Amino acid sequence: MAAKPVLDAACMAELRALDPDGKAQLVKRVLATYRASLAKLVEQLRVARADEAWDQVSRVAHTLKSSSASIGALALSALCADIERLLRAGDNAGAGELIEPFHAEVRRVDAAVGQTLQHLEAAAS
């Protein structure tokens, strides 16, 4: 069985449907913006976790949960939801255990978004 794609095809199709002729370069802009914010938010989460600022970790997870879902990074969105849920329940240790899988999924999503952006660039030229 093949691994599920990192970016959900249905979500990507919905994004494309918002800009059917591609003139507005909506998908490219959304993905580029997402990728930039992903890097910032992951760094914020790393610092917050090091400082044991769990409320900040929860805020970052909440933000990433929504934006990741919007581009179809559903596994990352689900991990963020789990981290947020555990922290709300006061389970810092449980949330902490998800940080490593979170970072692994972030790397996969970042690579997939980068690849998609490269394909969009190639198609545009």
**Domains of the chain, residue spans:** 28-124
DSSP 6: S
CATH second-level architecture of 28-124?
A: Up-down Bundle (1.20)
Residue 2: per-residue pLDDT: 54
* Structure confidence at residue 84 as a pLDDT band (50, 70, 90): very high
This prediction's pTM: 0.93
- List, for residues 26-71, the tens digit of each pLDDT value: 999 999 999 999 999 999 999 999 999 999 999 999 999 999 999 9
Q: What is the mean pLDDT of the chain?
A: 94
Number of Cβ atoms within 10 Å of the Cβ of 106: 21
Q: What is the spatial distance between Cα 21 and Cα 107, in angstroms, rounded to a whole number? A: 30
